[in-house]
Structures are given as C-alpha cells and as structure tokens.
Structure 1
Amino acid sequence: MSYIESYQCDVCGDKKGEGGDWWLAWVDCFPGEKPEEDQPLIKLTRWQAHHAHSAGVKHLCGARCAGTLMDRWMTQQHADPDSHCETK
C-alpha cells in the first residue's frame, strides 16, 4: 500500500501537481524592544516538502495567490494595529 500526499492552495484551492511554482507562507514574530512590543510578520519561501507539513504553514500555488494572501494578512493587520504576537 502506498501513501500519496496531496496539497491544495490555501487561497484558490488548486491542487498541487508535480510541477508548478509553489510557495509556503507562515506567520512568525518580529521581536520588539520589550515583549509587549512584539509584532506578527509573514514569511514566504519556495516550496519544500519537509516544511509543507509544519503547523500553520500556508500552501500557495504561485505569485498571484501569494500576493492575495499577503493582501489579506495586511488588511487584518491594518484593522488591528495594536495586535501582538500570540504567546503560548
């Protein structure tokens, strides 16, 4: 029995095939001078199968969907300019 991984774009829903220009994005924390000044930031990198499994990672099928995700994230940040990194 074999296991087949499948991914789909978190923006448009396209399914990942063998090729394509896929990307990964996630939210991280930019440290301020004090912990209460920490701010969320978004990171983007080329597709890496190993990191595609990481919690919180968004799968993106190309530049257009990466731009859409960035626009949505920026809109959320603008709506709540006092937001800080989530602490665990």
Structure 2
Amino acid sequence: MARSESFQCDVCGSQKNHNDLWWLAWTDCFEGISPGDDQPLIKLTRWQQRQAHEEGVKHLCGARCAGTLIDRWMTAQHEDPSAHCESV
C-alpha cells in the first residue's frame, strides 16, 4: 500500500502538491572560538523529501513565506541579541 504524505507551509498553511517547488528551512549554530561566541543561524535549501521529515525543519511554499520566516527569525534575534546556540 502506498504511503500518502501531506505537508503544509509553516507560514501560510498552504498544502503542498506533488509537483510544487517548495523550500526547507531550519536553525543551526555558527560556532565561535568559545561557546559564548556561538551565534544562531538560519539555513534555507530546496525541497528534499528525506530532509522534510527532520525534526525542526520548516516547510515553505515559496519566496514570500521564506522571507516572512526569515524576518520573524531576525526579529527574534534582535529582541535577544545576546542569545547563543541552544546546547543539545
């Protein structure tokens, strides 16, 4: 039996169709010389089915929603400029 998957844009809620060209985004850590120098960063890449299932990955339907997500992330970074990467 074939497995049916559905994905929604994490910004606008649109449903992904099979042939749609979507994007994936997630946060990561830019490591400084010492842990106190670590800086959060955001990454963006083309849709890859396998990575779409990874924890913490955001699904984005296009440039407008990618821009909105990045804008929200930047605003959060400005609200807490001393934020460092979360330790795992």
Per the normalisation by structure 2, the TM-score is: 0.96
> Which residue does 1:4 correspond to in 2?
4
> Which residue does 1:57 correspond to in 2?
57
1:1-88 residue pairs with structure 2 within 5 A? 1-88=1-88
Deviation at 1:55, TM superposition (A): 0.6
Runs of 4+ in 1 over 4 A off after TM superposition: none
Which amino acid in 2 is paired with 1:16? K
**Gap regions ≥5 residues in structure 1:** none
Deviation at 1:30, TM superposition (A): 0.2
**Gap regions ≥5 residues in structure 2:** none
SS in structure 1 of the partner of residue 50 of structure 2? helix
Alignment length (residue pairs): 88
Between the aligned residues of both structures, percent identity stands at 67
Task: Give the whole-Å Cα distance in 2 for the aligned partners of 1:2 and 1:63.
Answer: 31
